[in-house]
Amino acid sequence: MEKGEITQEGTYEELLQFGTAFEQLVNAHQDSKTTLYSNAAKEGAMIQYQQPMLQQQGSEAEISTGNLPSVQLTQEEERELGGAGLKTYKDYVSVSKGWFLLVLIVLAQCVFVALQYLATYWLAATIQSHRFSVGIVVGVYAVMTTASCLFAYVRSLVAAHFGLKASREFFSGFMDSVFRAPMLFFDSTPTGRIMTRASSDLCILDFDIPFTMTFVISGTVEVAATVVVMIMVTWQVVLVAVPAVIGVLYIQRYYIASARELVRINGTTKAPVMNYAAESMLGVVTIRAFAATNRFIQTNLQLIDMDATMFFYTNAALEWVLLRVEAMQIVVIVTSSILLVMLPAGSVAPGFLGLCLSYALTLSSAQVFLTRFYSNLENYMISVERIKQFMHLPSEPPAVISDRRPAPSWPSEGKINLENLRVKYRENAPTVLRGITCTFAAGNKIGVVGRTGSGKTTLLSALFRLIDPSGGRILIDDVDICTIGLKDLRMKLSIIPQEPTLFRGSVRSNVDPLGLYTDQDIWEALDKCQLKKTIGVLPELLEAPVSDDGENWSAGQRQLFCLARVLLSRNRILVLDEATASIDSATDAILQRVIKQEFSGCTVITIAHRVPTVTDSDMVMVLSYGKHLPLRAAKIKPGIWIYQWTKHLICCR
């Protein structure tokens, strides 16, 4: 492939016979291998080196875990058990700082119901006495109903403000906690668990809980007022109303114990659906290549069925409790009606009897309304419970420690000392780096090599404090990096990662995310990494769009973008985390040339993926299952290092 077109096609031998670009690529690779091993052979003849005895050991023998049990990185999703009582409601109101607003909602609802009942009482009383004209009766009634509508409006307005305030506080607390969480949290927590809380749970918090809580308050006040009016007219209703209320509370309590667990289980069944869908979309090419489409579709349908089953059971349980509550209220209505009919003539005014009977007829619908929304509110509060789980995560160390800030010119040299460095990912996990002690001299090029799982990336994670050491220290220019803030440390280190990361935005925002440099500085950096010509022909220039993950740019160009960021920052320490592992030889050559020219006086740490990558290193560090092999780097040339490393890997196999 060349410039987006297929220039050659055929077998390996046929392409070599044409003598074109393919042959040049093969020859360049062969030349690099020939130069490497010829240099190693010559230096091996001049230097008499005694190879230490290496025991053939597997990874099981290399890493000693003692009596530690096997540690699973991704844990099962936590969910609360049993009833939370009023704690969840208290947390909701306390986090949102809305106690005053909640009291206003209750008062506004009480006044609204009182005015409604006064208006109907006014009609019942004045119709019997005939002391007021029709105009006065209707006028007073209209004033009362208008005032009640005004208080209903105030109640809804305060409820909306209360819900908005609660949503803002929970969203801010949730996002601050997640963004400040250490990398271990993201390594052990699937994305689906975070996304379900940030989407469905926060949506319930935004729209459902404030108005459902208002409906529960209004329903409670209305049902209580209705029962009070019925008791005032016919006190005998107490004989049936009190047992009915006790029965309703028992049924509701029995239901909520089951519904709460159903909603909690339903909350844990959403994350697997999202995770599986995301994984399937990322690997759709592989899935189709292996003709496994049907298997993935069936697995996805099974996960959706599991989630839908819990949702169905939740709604079925709600209908179960509503049916029984409605039956209990019908008993109260029938009893009240019979008692009203059996009252002696003239004991109660007909207007009040009609008022009591009309309230009795609305009691059933009011109680069902209250039960439905109270049950929904109990289920919705599980979302508050789930979001609260992620609002108090362990945080990373502070970004800035005021009394321990390094000098602005730090690090002036770039010297790195590792003193008995020990790193583990968890307290109960085995140690990954086990007592590494060495010095990276200022301005040297250090290559870090080793087999997969030897601890190369862990070493860099400790350098950037993505993982804090469990023992030992890392000193940069005699400053312990664990005593300063993360911002002060990471702003002074540069890295070109194995997989380049671009964000949706423009070329400018990706090359200079913090907006610290001028256009001229950016163009100079792009020119050095050979991106100026590509971007210069675009009509938007530095404002040229970058799609999600930089998909509209090639892998090599994305890596060069990372190089441009590093060129702008000009830090004394540069880390290359297998930066050439996923790019072609031409881009690799550009990367190596620019680094050699622009960072000649800087400390460069290179995680080696290809052997030629570390041939120019001043020192090569060999890691073997968390330990630094005791090879004398200061007295041995790089070619011999590669020769010894290769022999060590062969022996380890």
Domains of the chain (ranges; CATH) run 86-391 (1.20.1560.10), 416-651 (3.40.50.300)
Q: Among 61-75, 429-443, 489-503, 609-623, which is the least confidently predicted range?
A: 61-75
Spatial separation of the C-alpha atoms in residues 62 and 638, rounded to whole Å: 26
- Residue 236 region, left (φ>0) first, then alpha (ψ -120 to 50), else beta? alpha
Residue 226 is predicted with a pLDDT of 79
Decide if pLDDT at 54 tops 50.
no
Decide if pLDDT at 79 tops 60.
no
Top-confidence range, 120-124, 297-301, 440-444, 583-587: 297-301
Measured at the CA of 64, the angle between CA 451 and CA 448, to 5 degrees, comes to 25
Structure tokens at 582: 């996923």
* Residue 404 DSSP class: G
Give the confidence band of 40 by pLDDT, cuts at 50, 70, 90. very low
pLDDT tens figures, 219-254: 888 888 877 777 776 666 667 777 877 888 888 788
Residue 587 is predicted with a pLDDT of 66
Top-confidence range, 157-161, 404-408, 428-432, 576-580: 157-161
Top-confidence range, 135-139, 146-150, 334-338, 430-434: 146-150
Residue 61 is predicted with a pLDDT of 36
Percent of the chain surpassing pLDDT 90: 0
- 130 Cβ neighbours under 8 A, 6+ residues apart: none
Spatial separation of the C-alpha atoms in residues 546 and 558, rounded to whole Å: 10
For residues 243 and 417, the answer to whether their CB atoms sit within 8 Å is no
pLDDT tens figures, 186-213: 877 877 788 888 888 888 888 888 888 8
Decide if pLDDT at 80 tops 70.
no
For residues 328 and 334, the answer to whether their CB atoms sit within 8 Å is no
Spatial separation of the C-alpha atoms in residues 311 and 291, rounded to whole Å: 33
For residues 253 and 245, the answer to whether their CB atoms sit within 8 Å is no
H/E segment holding residue 508: helix 507-511
Decide if pLDDT at 393 tops 70.
yes
Residue 8 is predicted with a pLDDT of 72
Can you tell me whether residue 418 is helix, strand or coil?
strand
Average pLDDT over residues 73-100: 72
Residue 6 is predicted with a pLDDT of 74
Decide if pLDDT at 652 tops 70.
no
Decide if pLDDT at 52 tops 50.
no
Residues 490, 491, 496, 501, CA torsion sign:
positive
Amino acid present at 257: A
C-alpha torsion 82→86→87→93, nearest 10: 140
Residue 36 is predicted with a pLDDT of 43
For all residues of the chain together, what is the average pLDDT? 76
Spatial separation of the C-alpha atoms in residues 510 and 494, rounded to whole Å: 15
Give the confidence band of 258 by pLDDT, cuts at 50, 70, 90. confident
Residue 41 is predicted with a pLDDT of 46
Give the confidence band of 653 by pLDDT, cuts at 50, 70, 90. very low
Decide if pLDDT at 634 tops 70.
no
Q: Which of 478, 474, 451 is nearest to 464 (CA)?
A: 474
Residue 648 is predicted with a pLDDT of 47
Alpha-carbon distances, residue 75 vs 72, 187, 271, 391 (angstroms): 7, 10, 13, 18
Can you tell me whether residue 545 is helix, strand or coil?
strand
Can you tell me whether residue 140 is helix, strand or coil?
helix
Amino acid present at 370: L
* Residue 607 DSSP class: E
Structure tokens at 423: 């790193």
Is residue 539 packed enough to be buried (19+ CB in 10 Å), middle (13-18) or exposed (0-12)?
Answer: exposed
Average pLDDT over residues 40-55: 39
Average pLDDT over residues 24-34: 56
Decide if pLDDT at 649 tops 60.
no
* Residue 35 DSSP class: H
Roughly what angle, to the nearest 10 degrees, separates helices 134-179 and 99-129? 160
First-to-last alpha carbon distance for the chain, in angstroms, is: 37
Average pLDDT over residues 385-392: 85
For residues 425 and 511, the answer to whether their CB atoms sit within 8 Å is no
Please list the helix, strand and coil fractions of the chain in percent, rounded to the nearest 5, in that order: 65, 10, 30
Is residue 490 packed enough to be buried (19+ CB in 10 Å), middle (13-18) or exposed (0-12)?
Answer: middle
Give the confidence band of 66 by pLDDT, cuts at 50, 70, 90. very low
* Residue 85 DSSP class: T
Decide if pLDDT at 513 tops 70.
yes
Residue 633 is predicted with a pLDDT of 46
Decide if pLDDT at 129 tops 70.
no
Q: How many helices (H) and strands (E) does the chain have?
A: 22, 12
Which residue's entry shows tokens 């989407």? 199
Decide if pLDDT at 635 tops 50.
no
Residue 445 is predicted with a pLDDT of 83
Decide if pLDDT at 645 tops 60.
no
- Other CB atoms within a 10 A radius of the CB of residue 620 amount to 24
pLDDT tens figures, 547-587: 877 777 877 788 788 888 888 888 888 888 776 655 666 66
Residue 585 is predicted with a pLDDT of 64
Letter string b/e over residues 336-362, b meaning 16 or more CB atoms within 10 A of that residue's CB: beebbeeeeeeeeeebbbebbbebbee
Structure tokens at 148: 């009640």
Structure tokens at 637: 């040339």
Give the confidence band of 69 by pLDDT, cuts at 50, 70, 90. very low
Decide if pLDDT at 60 tops 70.
no
Residue 27 is predicted with a pLDDT of 62
Decide if pLDDT at 474 tops 50.
yes
Decide if pLDDT at 68 tops 60.
no
Can you tell me whether residue 84 is helix, strand or coil?
coil
Decide if pLDDT at 459 tops 70.
yes
Q: ω into residue 411 within 30 of 0, thus cis?
A: yes
Structure tokens at 282: 């990322």
Spatial separation of the C-alpha atoms in residues 110 and 222, rounded to whole Å: 8
Give the confidence band of 37 by pLDDT, cuts at 50, 70, 90. very low
Spatial separation of the C-alpha atoms in residues 205 and 98, rounded to whole Å: 14
